[in-house]
Structure 1
Amino acid sequence: MNRKTLVLSAVVGLLAPVLVACGSTDSGSDGGDAIVVGTTDQFVAGADAPAPLDPAYAYDTGAWNVLRQTLQTLMHAPRGGGEPVPDAAESCIFTDNASESYRCKLRSGLTFADGTPVTAQDVKFSVQRVLDIDADNGTAALLSNIDTIETKGEDEIIFHLATPDATFPYKLSTPVAGIVSKEKYEGKKLREGFQVDGSGPYTMKTETEGDHISQVVFSKNPNYKGDLKLHNDKIVLRTFTDAASMGNALEAGDIDLMTRAMSPEQIRNLLENPKEGIELTEMPGLEIRYLAFNTTAPAVKDKAVRQAIASLVDRGQITQEVYGATAEPLYSLIPSSISAHTNSFFNKYGEPSRANAASLLSNAGINTPVKLTLHYTTDHYGEGTAKEFEALRDQLNASKLFDVKIEGAEWSKFRPAQKRGDYAVYGLGWFPDFPDPDNYTAPFLDKGNFLNSPYVSDKALELIPQSRREADRTAASPAFKQIQDIVANDVPVLPLWQGKQYVAARENVSGVEWALNSSSDLQLWELFRGTA
């Protein structure tokens, strides 16, 4: 994914909120004006992405941030992170020591927003639907380890897994496992357009301009029964084409809060020159950015070409000149704040070296300069992306070993082209679905992976299920170390940096420090006017 929690207690030192008391004790839970949240995420429906908000298809942070407000899952990530806790479920538990059978019991009286009862059969339908549709976006891969689904009565469901998987509760907490009604969703066909119906904390209505959403209005679902406590009655999520216009709207008071993706310049300015009435909150983040390779494309099919790029890229220069304090270099797919991280790329390639890159290419008989085009999305990860790719281009071209051009495209065109294999080299970001090293490795290396990558490592395919057997996740570290070393050697992807995240809000809005978790999941129910 693109895109989606770290245990907050473990990273509380990273939080840097500047909170100003407003002299009120109003929790905001009794309603009042809607809180308006700005985002640069774009929601577009078209021929290449006809069902951007169907849980069987949606697999990017923006779409998931809509679905998390409207669809309910059996489990959910708790407020400050950590292991999932029941939401639609009253309880969930592995019924064996091998982590192969997972049983959930639904809450009593659970209904969809329209009052229709939610049953175990609805849960089975929803999960089986994802597997049956098996959309090319990679969503089904999260649930592909399910062998059979069994229901007992109206409120009990048992997932029998093909192989042990201690991470399965985390997967049930993602929108891909969102519960939908078979009365409103077809079992083997995507639901086109922008309508979403579920049993989550909010109902939603969209306003559109042409083929894209201009804003989403989330209204408190009076029939919601779950673990979440709503602190507001209505939230409006408004989309902006760029960070500058979103920032102007915040200063003008047209919106109350802006989330992803603020530009590095905006963050720097707010840190150095705070604006009256606006507060910037820093939060821990688990976002990573990376280059990925179509390993069957002629230009990068030879591993030596990919290794040479890994030898040349100067991550420190990119983070310093483009992102400043908001990012730091990353030398593995698994970020440094997640257990099992190793600096595999630095261990293999060291500091950027033209000599090493030239030797790799020469020994492989590769003629230089190698001509490449690096592709990136212009509207999905923020305005720093273009500058990042300009820096990458200049670094590679300065070596005289490569002749590189860069080309940007809107996400609605970029993602389908990337999945089709149109690009030899392209840049993507990843927001973890859940905070486990498995979610930084399997989505890139497992069968049916998010990238639709032709790269295959038989050893990695052996290690991934092996790592999932360990209920104690620290015991899986040796397997993840091997996987990270395989990636550094074969370079199907090239990690670049990991980032922090920030939210800017008007000072009369509270709950901001909880509005985003470390996976960049929006938790809009936490927001309210006034101070607690």
Structure 2
Amino acid sequence: MLRLTTAILLLTASTALAQQTDITIGMQLEPPNLDPTGGAAAAIDEVVYANVFEGLTRFGPDGSIQPALAESWDVSEDGLTWTFDLHEGVTFHDGTTMDAEDVVFSLDRARAEDSTNAQKALFEGIASVEAVDAQTVRITLAAPNGNLPFNLAWGDAVIVAPESAETNASAPVGTGPFTVADWVQGDRVELTRNDAYWGDAPALDRATFKFISDPNAAFAAVMAGDVDAFPTFPAPETLSSFEADPRFSVIVGSTEGETILAMNNVSLPDARVRQAITHAIDRQAIIDGAMFGYGTPIGTHFAPHNPDYVDLTDRSAHDPERARELLAEAGVTDLTLRLMLPPPAYARRGGEIIASQLRAVGIETEIANLEWAQWLEQVFRGKDFDLTIVSHTEPADINIYARPDYYFQYDNPAFQALIEELSVETNPEQRSALSRQAQEIISGDYVNAYLFQLAKTGVADARIQGLWENSPTQANDLTGVSWSE
């Protein structure tokens, strides 16, 4: 009898261990709000994408476009009319029904003249959105756009309800498998499983996103087990320690993050000066010094893993002598530029290296370390900067260069016309040709200095399964995450 009782206790303990259903995820940046339709910060989607909010379509872990709230869709022969069939039985977290009228509201709101959506351009080609019936939505385009399902997969295109849209920033109400249970600003966001979820139930019943900005503190938190996984780990110099420890797995993949030294094209209007800055920079030295070797050099705003990528790194190769010649041609002497750095380690560490490289060709910098909210307000929205370092993590976003009011303020009508042509082109070969031409133009205009494609370096408890290896969009999708024994 004693042996039987002991065996039962051991089995129960083993089962309890195997069935762990809570997880703590580390993040370096805290989102400024929790509404993906009303903010540009990648940290918003890192918490809520696919977890709290859902769109008609979504990105899969391999970058594919998959059904989400729409179970299927089709397009007319002329490419102008798209019909989306919605899943039945979908409700928002407050218990209200999600139907076609909510889709109409969400997309009309995103494309409205007074919209605050950070990616409003995704919706510009939409002429109308109609509810055919409760489960069917018809989207009519002004011109054919084969990328519509791709556009609708962005976090900026999630479906929200008119009753809660205005308060989603602080009290999110979505349709996803998790609800927001608590947000302790400056510390964490807690999610709990949505038992009324319309789709497959996640294995996790609770998740905590813990915000740890300091790389040393992040290392200590993972080592101590206070954080179960840090999908985008801010201290790549310590990865070897985790690789040598069987308790952990190190996950290295790719991202959509083009890391750039962005230049204010209004305060730096002379392309020769911008070109000089690019030649002053040694990309590999930045990758080695700031990222400890993790990163792929780029010469334009396009991901190297994309089949349409053009390697233009030679056009802005490290050439300090050429940089000095260009500054002399432009008649520039005693140039001092304001270098605004947001919190990520790639920016703070990279900024110090770039400042030294620029000083070597006669350009001084005044470095200002900004908190994320301050960077968004002063640099991104206020355009009050000369140089900044940031990783653009949105997928295939070269179209931002067609927006003259975007924060680096590049205004080239020829480029804008090319992007307009690309947006309506449906032939794959023609789209590829236009994408390559777009890369050539911004590289030749030296709009920004293109540094490297951000690697995804993550660390996790070795028992965790289902974390994304790559980042086709900025997300910590927990829908397929579980613990093994």
Common topology (TM > 0.5)? yes
**Separation in 2, partners of 1:261, 1:505:** 10
Q: Does 1:368 align with 2:333?
A: yes
**Separation in 2, partners of 1:457, 1:420:** 21
Alignment of 1:382-401 (within 5 A): 383-400=345-362
Deviation at 1:345, TM superposition (A): 4.5
Q: The residue matched to 2:259 in structure 1 has which SS?
A: strand
Deviation at 1:206, TM superposition (A): 2.1
**Separation in 2, partners of 1:145, 1:363:** 43
Kept in 2, the 8 Å contact 1:270–1:280? The answer is: yes
Kept in 2, the 8 Å contact 1:29–1:231? The answer is: no
Q: The residue matched to 2:293 in structure 1 has which SS?
A: helix
| Gap change, CA 1:85 and 1:193, over 3 Å in 2 | closer
Q: Does 1:460 align with 2:415?
A: yes
1:507 aligned partner: 462
Structure 2 counterpart of 1:370, one-letter code = L
1:415 aligned partner: 376
Per-residue deviation, residues 239-264 of structure 1 (Å, max 9, x unmatched): 12322222212221222111224212
Structure 1 counterpart of 2:60, one-letter code = P
1:101 aligned partner: 81
Kept in 2, the 8 Å contact 1:141–1:448? The answer is: no
Kept in 2, the 8 Å contact 1:139–1:176? The answer is: yes
Structure 2 counterpart of 1:344, one-letter code = L
Kept in 2, the 8 Å contact 1:515–1:524? The answer is: no
| Gap change, CA 1:470 and 1:231, over 3 Å in 2 | farther
Deviation at 1:431, TM superposition (A): 1.0
**Separation in 2, partners of 1:331, 1:287:** 13
**Separation in 1, partners of 2:332, 2:412:** 27
**Separation in 2, partners of 1:230, 1:29:** 18
Report which stretch shifted further, 418-427 or 463-472: 463-472
CA RMSD of superposed structures (Å): 2.5
Deviation at 1:280, TM superposition (A): 1.3
| Gap change, CA 1:307 and 1:153, over 3 Å in 2 | same
Q: The residue matched to 2:367 in structure 1 has which SS?
A: strand
Deviation at 1:118, TM superposition (A): 1.0
1:207 aligned partner: 183
Structure 2 counterpart of 1:495, one-letter code = Y
| Gap change, CA 1:138 and 1:180, over 3 Å in 2 | closer
Deviation at 1:222, TM superposition (A): 2.0
| Gap change, CA 1:276 and 1:263, over 3 Å in 2 | same
| Gap change, CA 1:199 and 1:133, over 3 Å in 2 | farther
Q: Number of matched residues?
A: 472
User: What are the ranges of 5 or more consecutive residues in structure 2 without an aligned counterpart?
Assistant: 1-10
**Separation in 2, partners of 1:75, 1:522:** 17
User: What are the ranges of 5 or more consecutive residues in structure 1 without an aligned counterpart?
Assistant: 1-22, 45-51
**Separation in 2, partners of 1:358, 1:241:** 37
Structure 2 counterpart of 1:287, one-letter code = G
Residue in structure 2 matching 1:56, options 24, 37, 47: 37
Residue in structure 2 matching 1:485, options 427, 440, 451: 440
Residue in structure 2 matching 1:36, options 2, 6, 24: 24
1:529 aligned partner: 483
Q: The residue matched to 1:217 in structure 2 has which SS?
A: strand
**Separation in 2, partners of 1:108, 1:136:** 30
Per-residue deviation, residues 488-523 of structure 1 (Å, max 9, x unmatched): 2222222111122122112232223x3663434211
Q: The residue matched to 1:524 in structure 2 has which SS?
A: coil
- Identical-residue share of aligned pairs (%): 21
Residue in structure 2 matching 1:130, options 100, 104, 110: 110
Deviation at 1:421, TM superposition (A): 1.5
Structure 2 counterpart of 1:235, one-letter code = A
| Gap change, CA 1:496 and 1:386, over 3 Å in 2 | same
Alignment of 1:294-313 (within 5 A): 294-297=264-267, 300-313=268-281
Q: The residue matched to 2:180 in structure 1 has which SS?
A: strand
**Separation in 2, partners of 1:134, 1:27:** 54
Q: The residue matched to 2:418 in structure 1 has which SS?
A: helix
1:354 aligned partner: 320
| Gap change, CA 1:94 and 1:494, over 3 Å in 2 | farther
Kept in 1, the 8 Å contact 2:258–2:450? The answer is: yes
Deviation at 1:54, TM superposition (A): 2.2
| Gap change, CA 1:362 and 1:289, over 3 Å in 2 | same
**Separation in 1, partners of 2:404, 2:209:** 32
Kept in 1, the 8 Å contact 2:340–2:387? The answer is: yes
Structure 2 counterpart of 1:74, one-letter code = L
Q: Does 1:219 align with 2:192?
A: yes
By relative contact order (CA 8 Å, sep 6+), the higher-ranking structure is: 1
Alignment of 1:18-417 (within 5 A): 32-44=20-32, 52-68=33-49, 69-82=51-64, 84-98=65-79, 100-132=80-112, 134-135=114-115, 138-185=118-165, 190-191=166-167, 193-208=169-184, 212-226=185-199, 230-271=202-243, 274-297=244-267, 300-346=268-314, 348-349=315-316, 351-364=317-330, 366-378=331-343, 381=344, 383-400=345-362, 402-417=363-378
Q: The residue matched to 1:477 in structure 2 has which SS?
A: helix
Deviation at 1:213, TM superposition (A): 4.6
Kept in 2, the 8 Å contact 1:138–1:448? The answer is: no
Deviation at 1:398, TM superposition (A): 0.9
Kept in 2, the 8 Å contact 1:446–1:461? The answer is: yes
**Separation in 2, partners of 1:474, 1:94:** 20
Kept in 2, the 8 Å contact 1:120–1:157? The answer is: yes
| Gap change, CA 1:29 and 1:91, over 3 Å in 2 | farther
Structure 1 counterpart of 2:342, one-letter code = T
Kept in 2, the 8 Å contact 1:103–1:158? The answer is: yes
**Separation in 2, partners of 1:284, 1:42:** 22
**Separation in 1, partners of 2:19, 2:160:** 27
| Gap change, CA 1:39 and 1:27, over 3 Å in 2 | farther
Tell me the TM-score normalized by structure 2.
Answer: 0.90
Per-residue deviation, residues 317-363 of structure 1 (Å, max 9, x unmatched): 111222133112111111211121112352x34x3223322332233
Deviation at 1:31, TM superposition (A): 6.0
Structure 1 counterpart of 2:373, one-letter code = S
Deviation at 1:154, TM superposition (A): 1.0
1:20 aligned partner: none
**Separation in 2, partners of 1:345, 1:469:** 29
Kept in 2, the 8 Å contact 1:56–1:135? The answer is: no
Q: The residue matched to 1:41 in structure 2 has which SS?
A: coil
Deviation at 1:276, TM superposition (A): 4.2
Structure 2 counterpart of 1:262, one-letter code = P
**Separation in 2, partners of 1:92, 1:411:** 38
**Separation in 2, partners of 1:528, 1:391:** 40
